């Protein structure tokens, strides 16, 4: 069975070039970069090189890059590290559609006594910046707002937000896990103080993340230990993965535009094809401001997990915001925050593409998915009722 992998916002396949670049560091080049001997020197040199490449992809200077273990660690380090540096301030601003790495942490901090404002979004998943202006105060320790949403792909106006936040001299963090390698970023021209991203979303392996910290930003380390990462994160550096991430960033920077155009045109073909072939299908989120590789669609009156398993039997890997897929009982907090009706939220499917997808992949999905939806609608008690009701109108 061939594999059609369209779940790249969950994770990506490791690029063959990345794997090749990592290999020596899992074999002969095993030194600890802190060591004084030549084995340490080899590792150190590779790390310096990788750090430059990683910095380049976001337009940062290498000493503003801190390597972490994953996106979640980067988010936790940014938020907790900032709060620790501003102990007198007790207010945090974030959004209702954040990834759990930020969302759950904010909920946790709320229980610990922080005042947390979760900004709401409209039906298209857009923020109301007036709400931000109204809630930001001298007590605000940090504003943390994601760059783009993992479920819908909706991109927030980060620089516009940043200007509001910086006019009050408040630290500004953004979770850019879904963005790096997909749209161009330049921290030299940005209002962002801290930016998180993760290797496995851009064809490096799982287990490596990055926190960009602008020079001069007050920060206390989250992992306390050795002097590594200029005292900003203890723990021996994960050299093979750092090298892999360096390679992945180099590839991403080189191919950004071309890849984007390709992913966008495949995504648009998929989206258009589904809307055309399957009745009662909606696209979730602002289509104007959206990652080029992502589309979230809802098929009314059917449930997402069933769709995913039927797709999976045909070799197609996607994901869903339905309740049943997450282990929780309610559909995704993102779709709920957007006010997507239950009829649609339970039947939402996200397709997220990468450079490795082809026209044939899209054709195959467009051929296989309509009969699946039709079949599940035949099983659904609501579909006939709905058809009957709408034919009476």
Partner 1 sequence: MWDYTEKVKDHFMNPRNVGEIENPDGFGEVGSLACGDALRLTFKLDEDRRIKDVKFKTFGCASAIASSSALTEMVKGKTLEEAEKISNRDIADYLGGLPEEKMHCSVMGREALAAAIASYRGEKVEKEEFEVICKCFGITDKEIERAVKENNLHTVEQVTHYTKAGGGCESCHPKIEAIIDKVWGEKETKPVLVKPAKGEKLTNIQRMRLIEETLEREIKPALRQDGGDLELIDIEGSKVFVALRGTCSFCPSADFTLKQYVEAKLREFVADDLSVEVKE
Q: What is the C-alpha to C-alpha distance for residues 180 and 155, in angstroms, rounded to an integer? A: 12
Q: Single out the residue of 139, 309, 339, 363 in contact with partner 1 (rule: CB under 8 A).
A: 309
Q: Single out the residue of 1, 216, 381, 390 in contact with partner 1 (rule: CB under 8 A).
A: 381
Q: Single out the residue of 18, 155, 243, 302 in contact with partner 1 (rule: CB under 8 A).
A: 302
Using CB under 8 A as the binding rule, whether residue 389 contacts partner 1 is answered as: no
Are the C-beta atoms of residues 267 and 353 closer than 8 Å to each other?
yes
Minimum distance, C-beta of residue 220 to partner 1, in the bound complex (Å): 32
Q: What is the C-alpha to C-alpha distance for residues 286 and 155, in angstroms, rounded to an integer? A: 8
Q: Which of helix, strand or coil describes residue 177?
A: coil
Pick the closer one to partner 1 by CB: 42 or 303.
303
Residue 264 phi/psi, 5° resolution? -60, -45
Run of H or E including 175: strand 172-175
Minimum distance, C-beta of residue 5 to partner 1, in the bound complex (Å): 15
Q: What angle do CA 68, 213, 205 make, to 5 degrees?
A: 30
Pick the closer one to partner 1 by CB: 290 or 350.
350
Using CB under 8 A as the binding rule, whether residue 306 contacts partner 1 is answered as: yes
Q: What residues are paired with 209 via a beta bridge?
A: 68, 198
Q: What is the C-alpha to C-alpha distance for residues 256 and 73, in angstroms, rounded to an integer? A: 26
- Which is the catalytic residue, given 70, 106, 249, 324? 324
Report CA-CA distances (Å) from 293 to 155, 181, 290.
12, 11, 8
Using CB under 8 A as the binding rule, whether residue 56 contacts partner 1 is answered as: no
Q: Single out the residue of 305, 366, 368, 387 in contact with partner 1 (rule: CB under 8 A).
A: 305
Using CB under 8 A as the binding rule, whether residue 303 contacts partner 1 is answered as: yes
Give the count of residues interacting with partner 1 (CB under 8 A). Answer: 27
Pick the closer one to partner 1 by CB: 26 or 314.
314
In 116-238, which ranges are continuous DSSP H helix? 129-135, 158-167
Using CB under 8 A as the binding rule, whether residue 331 contacts partner 1 is answered as: yes
Tokens of 227: 């002097």
Pick the closer one to partner 1 by CB: 12 or 325.
325
User: What's 335's DSSP letter?
Assistant: H
Q: Single out the residue of 324, 364, 366, 368 in contact with partner 1 (rule: CB under 8 A).
A: 324
Pick the closer one to partner 1 by CB: 95 or 320.
320
Minimum distance, C-beta of residue 301 to partner 1, in the bound complex (Å): 7
Q: What angle do CA 354, 48, 81 make, to 5 degrees?
A: 80
Using CB under 8 A as the binding rule, whether residue 327 contacts partner 1 is answered as: yes
Neighbours of 258 (CB within 10 A): 10
Q: Single out the residue of 342, 359, 374, 389 in contact with partner 1 (rule: CB under 8 A).
A: 342
Minimum distance, C-beta of residue 330 to partner 1, in the bound complex (Å): 5
User: Quick check: is 324 catalytic?
Assistant: yes
Tokens of 149: 């949403």
Pick the closer one to partner 1 by CB: 167 or 328.
328
Which residue, among 212, 186, 381, has the nearest Cα to 303 in the 3D structure?
A: 381
- Piece in contact with partner 1 (CB under 8 A), picked from 2-10, 239-247, 272-280, 372-380: 372-380
Q: What is the C-alpha to C-alpha distance for residues 244 and 47, in angstroms, rounded to an integer? A: 10
Q: What is the C-alpha to C-alpha distance for residues 323 and 289, in angstroms, rounded to an integer? A: 26
Minimum distance, C-beta of residue 12 to partner 1, in the bound complex (Å): 18
Minimum distance, C-beta of residue 150 to partner 1, in the bound complex (Å): 19
Tokens of 328: 């929780």
Pick the closer one to partner 1 by CB: 223 or 310.
310
Place of tokens 């030299």: 188
Taking the chain, what is the end-to-end CA distance rounded to the nearest angstrom?
45
Which residue, among 199, 362, 184, has the nearest Cα to 276 in the 3D structure?
A: 362
Using CB under 8 A as the binding rule, whether residue 382 contacts partner 1 is answered as: yes
Minimum distance, C-beta of residue 386 to partner 1, in the bound complex (Å): 10
Minimum distance, C-beta of residue 13 to partner 1, in the bound complex (Å): 18
- Piece in contact with partner 1 (CB under 8 A), picked from 33-41, 83-91, 179-187, 295-303: 295-303
Catalytic residue set: 324
Q: List interacting residues with partner 1 (CB under 8 A).
A: 301-306, 309-310, 313, 322-325, 327-331, 342-343, 346, 378-382, 384
């Amino acid at each position: 069975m061939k594999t059609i992998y369209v779940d790249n916002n969950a994770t990506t396949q490791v690029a063959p070039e990345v794997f090749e670049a990592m290999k020596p560091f899992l074999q002969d080049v095993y030194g600890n970069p802190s060591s004084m001997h030549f084995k340490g020197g080899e590792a150190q040199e590779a790390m310096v090189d990788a750090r430059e490449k990683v910095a380049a992809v976001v337009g940062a200077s290498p000493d503003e890059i801190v390597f972490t273990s994953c996106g979640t660690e980067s988010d936790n380090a940014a938020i907790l590290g900032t709060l620790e540096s501003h102990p007198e301030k007790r207010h945090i601003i974030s959004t209702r559609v954040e990834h759990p790495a930020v969302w759950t942490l904010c909920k946790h901090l709320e229980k610990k006594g922080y005042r947390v404002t979760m900004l709401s979004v409209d039906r298209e998943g857009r923020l109301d910046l007036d709400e931000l202006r109204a809630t930001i105060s001298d007590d605000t320790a940090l504003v943390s707002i994601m760059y783009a949403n993992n479920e819908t792909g909706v991109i927030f106006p980060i620089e516009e937000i940043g200007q509001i936040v910086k006019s009050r001299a408040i630290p500004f963090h953004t979770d850019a896990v879904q963005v790096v390698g997909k749209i161009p970023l330049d921290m030299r021209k940005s209002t962002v103080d801290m930016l998180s991203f993760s290797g496995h979303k851009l064809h490096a392996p799982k287990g490596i993340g990055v926190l960009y910290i602008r020079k001069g930003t007050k920060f206390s380390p989250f992992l306390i230990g050795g002097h590594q990462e200029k005292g900003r994160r203890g723990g021996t550096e994960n050299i093979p993965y750092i090298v892999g991430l360096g390679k992945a960033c180099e590839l991403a920077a080189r191919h950004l535009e071309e890849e984007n155009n390709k992913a966008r045109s495949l995504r648009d073909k998929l989206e258009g094809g589904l809307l055309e072939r399957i009745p009662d299908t909606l696209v979730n989120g602002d289509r104007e401001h959206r990652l080029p590789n992502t589309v979230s669609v809802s098929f009314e009156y059917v449930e997402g997990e069933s769709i995913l398993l039927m797709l999976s039997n045909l070799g197609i890997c996607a994901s869903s915001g339905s309740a049943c897929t997450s282990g929780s009982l309610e559909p995704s907090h993102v779709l709920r925050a957007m006010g997507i009706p239950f009829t649609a939220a339970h039947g939402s499917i996200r397709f997220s593409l990468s450079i490795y997808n082809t026209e044939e992949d899209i054709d195959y999905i467009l051929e296989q998915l309509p009969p699946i939806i039709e079949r599940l609608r035949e099983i659904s008690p609501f579909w006939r009722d709905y058809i009957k009701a709408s034919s009476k109108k």
